[in-house]
């Protein structure tokens, strides 16, 4: 029987403040503090057990994972708040000395994952350059041109948001880009209000109606349908291939095959993987086969728990034999890195641009009980040259950075460097 109820501003759990003490008869409970502590513990257990069960090594990072549990759980139990608990879990993950293991704060996870804003396109593509959100490519019908700074989208100031995300070491460049991109996209047919700054320093407010993203919808596994597109054109006597993801396998492989056949007499071939986050790993092996007729070549090896997958190149008769340049940037990830890094290692391609994302491993993002996101890898990838791409990325043979100044002048400095190399190679 409840004899009486007493409220006190003090919490009955040390370290958790401004909680409520409830006394029922002779039993005293700190309800909110206890609930918060339980969320911390459930979150920790989810992180710890996922690594125990999913890591490609039975002793993750060479560690006694049970001993790690005994060390860190009491610290999580005593954590004063979510931020402190998150810091302790990040410290535990750092013991692995491996990338793609991180806890992402709920605000960044919500902004940077999924497609909450919709897939409506504003008619331009952005990058964060020197802390500013800059249009790096604009569709022909877009009223916002290449080189323009997007200052705000529907009232959200983008440079401060980018700075806030960049300040957190657990937030990767890919996650940052996705968070910013979701601010400029939305449902097709709706309007976005942008504040933009042109090359002359003039600020303008523009209403832009979002359109359906280009490409064909294609699904794979548990992934939601994605808009996938492929582009091929001639630039002088060089071929230029670009596609946004390694998905829509049948259609994409057919288009790549046609591009190679059409470019049989080209002086060189440029494959632009900038902004390409990857996709189906097997497509890298198939596409590489159009670029060499030599047998027994590999792009690298992926190691999983109890198994290894060799990325063997499937050579094609009549493969393209001319110079191959691959363009990459900090958003080239996963299969893009395997393709670019593997061809670089076997000496079949020269890589231009900036270091890739270093996100070559198959990884999973899941939501934790406290609302944070948890990213963890389930395999390790070693390139044919013996390098771990995860966390390191592919280092270009020729580093070329985009700048707002060159974009405003209508120059793609990365592409121009690749075309110049092809011209010099053919002389």
pLDDT at site 110? 55
pLDDT score recorded for residue 32:
59
pLDDT at position 222: 56
Instruction: Provide DSSP, 136-192.
Output: EEE-TT-SS-TT-EEEEETTEEHHHHHHHHHT-TTS-HHHHHHHHHHHH-BSTT-EE
Rounded to whole angstroms, the Cα distance separating 13 from 34 reads 7
pLDDT tens across the length of the chain (427 residues): 333 333 333 333 333 333 444 333 334 444 456 788 899 999 999 999 999 999 999 999 999 999 999 999 999 999 999 899 999 999 999 999 887 788 888 765 555 444 445 789 999 999 999 999 999 999 999 999 999 999 999 999 999 999 999 998 778 888 899 899 999 999 999 999 999 999 999 999 999 999 999 999 987 765 678 899 999 999 999 999 999 999 999 999 999 999 999 999 999 999 999 999 998 989 999 999 999 999 999 999 998 888 888 999 989 888 999 999 999 999 999 999 999 999 999 999 999 999 999 888 777 888 999 989 898 988 888 888 888 887 789 999 999 999 999 999 999 999 999 999 999 998 7
Q: What is the pLDDT of residue 3?
A: 32
Q: Which two tokens stand for residue 312?
A: 């063997």
> Nearest to residue 393, comparing CAs of 343, 344, 337?
337
Long-range contacts of 78-82 (CB under 8 A, 24+ apart): 78/14, 78/15, 79/15, 79/37, 79/40, 80/15, 80/16, 80/17, 81/16, 81/36, 82/36, 82/39, 82/40, 82/370, 82/372
Dihedral, CA atoms, 201, 174, 96, 48, nearest 10 degrees?
120
The pLDDT value given to residue 364 = 81
Q: What is the pLDDT of residue 28?
A: 40
DSSP summary character for residue 289: G
Whole-number pLDDT of residue 174: 87
Q: Which residue has the tokens 């121009």?
A: 416
Question: What per-residue confidence (pLDDT) applies to 238?
Answer: 97
Give the pLDDT score at 21: 42
The whole-angstrom separation of Cα 43 and Cα 415 is 46
Note the pLDDT of residue 109: 54
340 CB-contact burial (10 Å; exposed 0-12 / middle 13-18 / buried 19+): buried
- pTM, rounded to two decimals: 0.80
| Predicted pLDDT at 20 | 40
Residue keyed to tokens 């060189």: 268
Q: Where in the chain are the domains?
A: 5-97, 109-212, 216-426
* Residue 329 confidence (pLDDT): 98
Residue found under tokens 């009549």:
318
Level-2 CATH architecture, domain 216-426 = Alpha-Beta Complex (3.90)
Q: Give the H or E element holding residue 237.
A: none
Cα separation of 342 and 317, whole Å? Answer: 20
At the topology level of CATH, where does 109-212 sit? Pdz3 Domain (2.30.42)
Joined tokens for residue 221: 């596994």
For the purposes of burial, counting CB atoms within 10 Å of the CB of 13, is it exposed (0-12), middle (13-18) or buried (19 or more)?
Answer: middle
Structural tokens at position 348: 């079949």
């Amino acid at each position: 029987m409840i004899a009486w109820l007493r409220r006190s501003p003090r919490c009955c759990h040390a370290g958790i403040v401004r909680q409520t003490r409830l006394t029922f008869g002779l039993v005293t409970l700190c309800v909110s503090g206890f609930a918060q502590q339980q969320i911390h513990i459930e979150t920790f257990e989810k992180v710890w057990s996922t690594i125990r069960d999913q890591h490609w090594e039975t002793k993750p990072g060479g560690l006694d994972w049970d001993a790690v549990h005994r060390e860190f759980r009491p610290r999580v139990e005593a954590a004063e708040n979510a931020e402190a608990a998150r810091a302790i879990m990040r410290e535990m993950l750092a013991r692995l000395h491996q990338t793609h293991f991180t806890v992402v704060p709920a605000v960044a996870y919500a902004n940077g994952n999924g497609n909450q804003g919709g897939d409506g396109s504003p008619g331009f593509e952005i990058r964060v350059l020197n802390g500013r959100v800059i249009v790096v490519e604009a569709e022909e019908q877009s009223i916002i041109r290449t080189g323009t700074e997007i200052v705000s989208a529907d009232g959200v100031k983008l440079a401060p948001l980018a700075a806030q995300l960049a300040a957190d070491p657990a937030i990767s460049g890919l996650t940052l880009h996705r968070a910013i991109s979701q601010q400029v996209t939305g449902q097709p047919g709706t309007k976005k209000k942008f504040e933009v700054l042109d090359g002359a320093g003039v600020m303008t407010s523009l209403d832009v109606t979002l359109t359906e993203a280009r490409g064909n919808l294609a699904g794979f596994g548990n992934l939601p349908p994605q808009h996938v597109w492929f582009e091929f054109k001639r630039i002088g006597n060089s071929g230029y291939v670009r596609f946004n993801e390694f998905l829509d396998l049948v259609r994409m492989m057919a288009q790549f095959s046609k591009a190679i056949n059409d470019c049989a007499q080209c002086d060189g071939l440029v494959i632009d993987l900038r902004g390409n986050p990857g996709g189906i790993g097997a497509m890298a092996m198939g596409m590489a086969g159009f670029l060499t007729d030599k047998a027994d070549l590999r792009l690298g090896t992926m190691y999983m728990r109890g198994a290894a997958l060799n990325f063997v190149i499937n050579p094609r008769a009549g493969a393209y034999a001319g110079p191959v340049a691959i363009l990459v940037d900090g958003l080239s990830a996963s299969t893009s890195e395997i393709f670019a890094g593997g061809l670089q290692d076997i000496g079949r391609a020269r890589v231009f641009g900036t270091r890739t994302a270093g996100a070559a491993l198959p990884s999973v993002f899941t939501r934790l009980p406290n609302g944070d996101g948890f990213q963890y890898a389930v395999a390790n990838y070693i390139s044919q040259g013996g390098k771990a791409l995860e966390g390191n990325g592919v280092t270009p043979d020729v580093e070329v950075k985009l700048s707002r100044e060159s974009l405003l002048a209508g120059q793609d400095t990365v592409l121009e460097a690749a075309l110049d190399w092809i011209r010099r190679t053919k002389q």
